[in-house]
């Protein structure tokens, strides 16, 4: 295994950039009302040192344990990164929380992790979450945090000297506990060491060699492992500049401000970007323009520039399958969109497609020092140098997840091609049995349906029914079809054709009998998807189970649920 030296550890890297890149801009944060603020490396680390000094002093006074847990409850912002660093400098363990959790979930995680303090940052609905913070947990927050009686970051920075010297942490020391965003049940606390956080960004270094001249936009939750690995840890190791998004409404403006050179997103958002283009210019029209040699190149460059992707040299996606047609479309624009694969349990260090070698539908080859294999039941097993230390206070669940010789049970099903590239074919536990006793894997079918430009989300279900069927949510620009019969007829015919094409690629027992279009949207806020934008199948099925029989009896290829 690659040795990790003290110089590779995150704090050592931070102290290095504090000196070598002292005057280089590191963090750029929209502050609201059109104001944007930036911190150089020296400025950001100075603030982190002052907060660390206060945390350590406060912990001594209140007799915190040496490995005290300090939580971070915030949307992505510059202070999120600075808080994480301050916690490490103070000798403590950071515990990120998703900024969309309910009060009950906040309390569950704070109590389970035994957190002594919590950093409250930028949030949309703090009033809903606030009752979940126990009185005995010390609160502090930044200028972007909602009003409360907590100690402010600004006051702490102004009233404390910077922590002197360079705090050293041991490679195998616990650095963070990342609570999974699982689709069901109580989240598990995944424990990762400083060795892992040092080792993880080396994978990116080996593939694309990030430098201080690179730029990234941080907008996927930093509380999730993908952003923690691909943005925070890569920036700490390589000095990459980080820009932050302000709101969904300003996202395109934020993206154009950052003009990222490295950009990673989830399939659901790559689809949304594409749908946004199609809303302005129909796909059929663009296809015609693309075929005109000179004009086609001009149009493609214009689209990339309008999206903010004209400077991107590496574009990646993961967390769920990406439709092959979408990948080919981005490639036609000149953006080599590459798939990757990883889990909280291995800090995302599992698989990634190499530039110029990506195969649509496959998540790439294992990173250096990562091994993979397929178990007898089709489950993907991974042995990674970044595998977790275990689940916090859950030894039984740890033993279920990790074999004695270091193999991680991913829970995903897959297959490996002749070039050692991995394809994810679904979840082991997502298989369901039809009324004919046949098992159906929903993920590949959903991936085929998601290629339709008007489908925003899809869930294949049908346990106990003779054949499976699909429930779909339309993109915002297609929603008027619910009230416009002419649009509904045209779109219905297109959806039926997509379903027929998907059936042609499936085994007979996986053929869909019908596709149901339901109104509205599935969001994190209404509980239909996880913070990492994965569909909660149990929630979708519970919401519509009462209608399953009615839909089946309609005997229609496309059923419009609740249409006028």
Pairwise CA distance, residues 411 & 469, whole Å: 24
Residue 289 lies in a domain: no
One domain, residues 536 and 396: no
**CA distances in angstroms from 96 to 49, 180, 347, 373, 459, listed in the order given:** 20, 10, 14, 31, 29
Averaged pLDDT of the chain: 91
One domain, residues 381 and 524: no
One domain, residues 440 and 424: no
One domain, residues 424 and 462: no
- Segment 493-500 shows an average pLDDT of 93
SS (H, E, C) 129-151: HHHHCCCCCEEEECCCCCCCCCE
Using the predicted structure, report yes or no on whether residue 145 has a pLDDT greater than 90: yes
Nearest to 474 by CA among 461, 462, 458, 451: 458
Q: Per-residue confidence at 265, pLDDT binned at 50, 70, 90?
A: confident
Identify each DSSP E strand in 194-346 by its residue range: 215-218, 241-244, 262-265, 314-317, 337-341
One domain, residues 49 and 120: yes
Residue 314 lies in a domain: no
Domain's final residue, options 374, 404, 428? 428
pLDDT of residue 183: 44
- 244 phi, psi to nearest 5 deg: -115, 145
pLDDT of residue 83: 98
User: 3 vs 223, which has greater pLDDT?
Assistant: 223
One domain, residues 435 and 374: no
Q: Per-residue confidence at 564, pLDDT binned at 50, 70, 90?
A: low
Using the predicted structure, report yes or no on whether residue 1 has a pLDDT greater than 70: no
One domain, residues 417 and 438: no
Q: Among 250-264, 266-280, 328-342, 549-563, which is the least confidently predicted range?
A: 266-280
Q: The domain containing residue 22 runs over which residues?
A: 6-239
Pairwise CA distance, residues 197 & 169, whole Å: 12
One domain, residues 98 and 161: yes
Domain's final residue, options 428, 463, 486? 428
For the stretch 541-559, pLDDT in tens is 889 989 998 999 899 999 9
The answer to whether the beta carbons of residues 531 and 524 sit under 8 Å apart is: yes
Residue 61 lies in a domain: yes
* Number of domains forming the structure of the chain: 3
CATH number, domain of 346, equals: 2.30.38.10
Using the predicted structure, report yes or no on whether residue 515 has a pLDDT greater than 90: yes
One domain, residues 36 and 137: yes
Residue 268 lies in a domain: no
One domain, residues 530 and 549: yes
One domain, residues 423 and 443: no
Give the count of beta carbons closer than 10 Å to the beta carbon of residue 134: 12
pLDDT of residue 40: 98
Max mean pLDDT among 151-165, 442-456, 489-503 falls in 151-165
**Ramachandran region of residue 34, left (φ > 0), alpha (ψ -120 to 50) or beta?**
left
Residue 328 lies in a domain: no
Residue 266 lies in a domain: no
For the stretch 316-329, pLDDT in tens is 987 667 778 888 88
Using the predicted structure, report yes or no on whether residue 137 has a pLDDT greater than 80: yes
What DSSP letter does each residue of 476-496 carry, written as one string? Answer: GGGGGGGT-HHHHHHHHHHHH
CATH number, domain of 444, equals: 3.30.300.30
Residue 271 lies in a domain: no
One domain, residues 400 and 436: no
The CA-CA-CA angle for residues 373, 376, 379, to 5°, reads 55
Pairwise CA distance, residues 64 & 76, whole Å: 27
- Segment 144-166 shows an average pLDDT of 95
Residue 282 lies in a domain: no
For the stretch 371-407, pLDDT in tens is 999 999 889 999 999 999 999 999 999 999 999 999 9
Max mean pLDDT among 106-120, 241-255, 498-512 falls in 106-120
- Segment 49-63 shows an average pLDDT of 97
Pairwise CA distance, residues 286 & 288, whole Å: 5
CATH number, domain of 18, equals: 3.40.50.980
pLDDT of residue 273: 86
Domain's final residue, options 395, 428, 461? 428
């Amino acid at each position: 295994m690659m040795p990790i030296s003290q110089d590779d550890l995150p704090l050592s890297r931070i102290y290095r950039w504090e000196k070598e890149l002292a005057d280089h801009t590191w963090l750029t944060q929209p502050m609201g009302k059109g104001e944007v603020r930036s911190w150089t490396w020296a400025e950001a680390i100075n603030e982190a040192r002052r907060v660390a000094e206060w945390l350590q002093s406060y912990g001594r006074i209140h007799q915190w344990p040496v490995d005290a847990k300090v939580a971070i409850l915030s949307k992505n912002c510059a202070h999120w990164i600075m808080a994480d660093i301050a916690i490490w400098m103070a000798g403590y363990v950071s515990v990120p929380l998703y900024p969309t959790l309910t009060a009950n979930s906040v309390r569950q995680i704070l109590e389970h992790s035994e957190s002594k303090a919590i950093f409250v940052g930028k949030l949309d609905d703090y009033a809903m979450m606030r009752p979940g913070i126990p009185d005995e947990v010390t609160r502090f927050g930044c200028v972007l945090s909602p009003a409360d009686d907590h100690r402010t970051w600004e006051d702490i920075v102004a009233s404390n000297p910077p922590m002197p010297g360079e705090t050293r942490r041991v490679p195998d020391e616990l650095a963070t506990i990342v609570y999974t965003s699982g689709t069901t049940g109580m989240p598990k606390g995944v424990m990762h060491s400083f060795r892992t956080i040092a080792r993880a960004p080396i994978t990116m270094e080996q593939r694309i060699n990030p430098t201080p001249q690179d730029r990234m936009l941080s907008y996927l939750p930093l509380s999730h492992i993908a952003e923690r690995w691909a943005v925070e840890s890569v920036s700490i190791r390589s000095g990459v500049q980080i820009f932050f998004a302000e709101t969904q409404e300003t996202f395109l403006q934020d993206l154009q401000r950052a003009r990222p050179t490295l950009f990673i997103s989830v399939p659901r958002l790559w689809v949304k970007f594409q749908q946004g283009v199609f809303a302005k210019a129909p796909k059929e029209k663009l296809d015609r323009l693309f075929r005109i040699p000179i004009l086609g190149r001009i149009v493609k460059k214009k689209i990339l520039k309008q999206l903010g992707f004209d400077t991107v040299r590496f574009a990646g996606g993961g967390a769920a399958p990406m439709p092959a047609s979408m990948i080919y479309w981005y490639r036609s624009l000149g953006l080599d969109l590459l798939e990757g694969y990883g889990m909280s349990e291995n800090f995302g260090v599992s698989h990634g497609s190499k530039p110029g070698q990506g195969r649509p539908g496959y998540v790439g080859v294992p990173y250096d020092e990562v091994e993979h294999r397929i178990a007898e039941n089709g489950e993907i097993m991974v042995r990674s140098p970044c595998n977790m230390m275990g689940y916090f206070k859950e030894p039984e669940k740890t033993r279920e997840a990790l074999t004695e010789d270091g193999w991680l049970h991913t829970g995903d099903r897959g297959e490996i091609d002749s070039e050692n590239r991995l394809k994810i074919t679904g979840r082991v536990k997502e298989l369901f049995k039809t009324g004919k006793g046949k098992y159906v894997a929903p993920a590949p079918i959903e991936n085929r349906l998601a290629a339709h430009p008007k489908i925003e989300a899809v869930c294949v279900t049908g346990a106990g029914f003779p054949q499976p069927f699909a429930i779909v949510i339309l993109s915002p620009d297609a929603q008027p079809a619910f009230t416009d019969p002419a649009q509904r007829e045209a779109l219905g015919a297109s959806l039926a054709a997509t379903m027929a094409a998907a059936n042609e690629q499936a085994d007979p027992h996986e053929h869909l009998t019908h596709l149901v279009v339901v109104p509205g949207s599935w969001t994190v806020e209404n509980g239909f998807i996880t913070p990492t934008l994965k569909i909660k199948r149990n929630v979708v099925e519970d919401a519509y189970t009462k209608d399953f029989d009615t839909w089946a009896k309609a005997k229609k290829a496309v059923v419009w649920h609740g249409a006028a």
